[in-house]
Amino acid sequence: MFKLILGLGNQDIETSKKIAYIYSQSNIDIIDSSFEVFKEIKKFLEDKSIDTSKIKFCVSVGLLGDIHNKKAKINKNCAKCKKCISFCSQKAIEITNEEIKVNSKKCIGCSKCRHFCSFGAIDIYEENSLENNIEQIKNNTLKPDILELHLDIKKKKKIIKDFEYVLKNYKGDISICISRKYFGIKKIIKLIKKLKEIFDKYNKGFHFMIQADGSSMNNADGEYSSNLEALAFYKELSDLGYDIIISGGTNDKTPYLCKLFNLKPYAVAYGSYARKTALENEKKAQELVLKTAQLYD
Ligand code: SF4
Ligand code: SF4
């Protein structure tokens, strides 16, 4: 399965439409985006005569504190050196009338610009509360096929509480996106088992998936090494017997590495690399879909 990640923080609808269209011509399986982008691209693809019944639309929402829920903004310390503009892989930092600004629709909250700016001129803030996001999804007639929850925060009790809140308010297939950022593997496995228990209590009969996130948002450019964290994490979780999606640091080397190590994830999710490739080289983007499909031959 090929999963295209347009990104929870990415609200750039026009670019998302273009990328989704390029990949959906090659039979992709899942498109993951924010709720706003989902509503727009589903209609756009249908208008372009793409058979969207073959695509699962996944809407991502983040717990407060998760990196995917964050945005950057420039503060008054900005020395207008302009260095950060070329540094941002999403081209989210723009200059208008000598003012440096972050375009929040493009910013994915990776925080890399913040570490790069030597003037301490970039702050990171959080955009949407989980409750607002769930209310919006609940009250809309257009429903996603999968709801993905990004759970990368330090507080285990809060993860459990928020997960329970979501499942009390939303019925359907659920994916949880988690990395090894805050917990060791034993604690993660214990946490996943607890979340699965809650899932079975409220959403029995629906599909439970785990997105094992490796080196998140690293814009992996054709490197083998960027994959290793995600592949190792997949391997550590594979005995649980749940459907696991590999993500974070994935690129055109991922299908090769999966074959080499005999790994068969439920899906391979491509984010920054897929977006960049589609915009630079459509043919290469479509080859990525084929290479991924060969994993399941
Ligand atoms: S690197 Fe920092 S100081 Fe320079 S333009 Fe960007 S935000 Fe301003
Ligand atoms: S580097 Fe990351 S956090 Fe900074 S503006 Fe670009 S996308 Fe946003």
Integer angstrom CA distances of residue 295 from 214, 255, 256: 19, 6, 8
| Residue (of 92, 54, 49, 55) closest to 74 by Cα position | 92
For ligand 2, what atom is nearest to the CA of residue 84?
1
Query: Which pLDDT belongs to residue 77?
Result: 96
Q: Is 240 in the pocket of ligand 1 (CB under 6 A)?
A: no
| Residue (of 169, 235, 165, 159) closest to 194 by Cα position | 159
Query: Which pLDDT belongs to residue 8?
Result: 79
Query: Which pLDDT belongs to residue 217?
Result: 67
Q: Is 260 in the pocket of ligand 1 (CB under 6 A)?
A: no
Q: How confident is the model at residue 220 (pLDDT cuts 50, 70, 90)?
A: low
Q: Is 271 in the pocket of ligand 2 (CB under 6 A)?
A: no
Q: Is 121 in the pocket of ligand 2 (CB under 6 A)?
A: no
Query: Which pLDDT belongs to residue 66?
Result: 81
Q: What's the pLDDT tens digit per position in 106-162?
A: 888 888 899 999 999 999 998 778 888 899 899 899 999 999 999 988 899 999 999
Query: Which pLDDT belongs to residue 219?
Result: 62
* CA-nearest residue, atom 8 of ligand 2: 107
Q: How many helices (H) and strands (E) does the chain have?
A: 11, 12
Query: Which pLDDT belongs to residue 215?
Result: 79
Q: Which ligand is nearest to the CA of 11?
A: 2
* CA-nearest residue, atom 7 of ligand 2: 107
* CA-nearest residue, atom 4 of ligand 1: 81
Phi, then psi, of 237 in degrees rounded to 5: -95, -10
* Mean pLDDT over the full length of the chain: 92
Q: Is 43 in the pocket of ligand 1 (CB under 6 A)?
A: no
Q: Is 88 in the pocket of ligand 1 (CB under 6 A)?
A: no
Please report the domains of the chain, with CATH numbers, ordered by start residue. Answer: 2-64+129-294 (3.20.20.70), 69-126 (3.30.70.20)
Distance (Å, whole) CA 285 – CA 274: 7
**144 CA from centroid of ligand 2 (Å):** 27
Average pLDDT over residues 213-234: 84
Res. 230: pLDDT tops 90: yes
Q: Is 79 in the pocket of ligand 1 (CB under 6 A)?
A: yes
Q: Tell me which of 47-61, 100-114, 217-231 is least confident.
A: 217-231
Q: Is 9 in the pocket of ligand 2 (CB under 6 A)?
A: no
Q: Is 30 in the pocket of ligand 1 (CB under 6 A)?
A: no
* CA-nearest residue, atom 2 of ligand 2: 110
Q: Is 108 in the pocket of ligand 2 (CB under 6 A)?
A: yes
Average pLDDT over residues 265-277: 94
Distance (Å, whole) CA 161 – CA 16: 32
Q: What's the pLDDT tens digit per position in 158-177?
A: 999 999 999 999 999 999 99
Res. 241: pLDDT tops 90: yes
Q: What's the pLDDT tens digit per position in 62-118?
A: 887 787 788 999 999 999 999 999 889 888 999 988 899 999 888 888 888 999 999
Query: Which pLDDT belongs to residue 240?
Result: 94
**49 CA from centroid of ligand 2 (Å):** 34
Q: Which residue has the higher pLDDT, 90 or 258?
A: 258
Res. 221: pLDDT tops 80: no
DSSP of 211-275, one letter per residue? EEE-STT----S-SGGGHHHHHHHHHHGGG-SEEEEESS--TTHHHHHHHTT---SEEEE-HHHH
Query: Which pLDDT belongs to residue 218?
Result: 65
Q: Tell me whether residue 114 is exposed, middle or buried, using C-beta atoms within 10 angstroms of its C-beta: 0 to 12, 13 to 18, 19 or more.
A: middle
For ligand 1, what atom is nearest to the CA of residue 83?
1
Res. 41: pLDDT tops 70: yes
Query: Which pLDDT belongs to residue 172?
Result: 94
Q: Is 101 in the pocket of ligand 1 (CB under 6 A)?
A: no
Average pLDDT over residues 179-191: 94
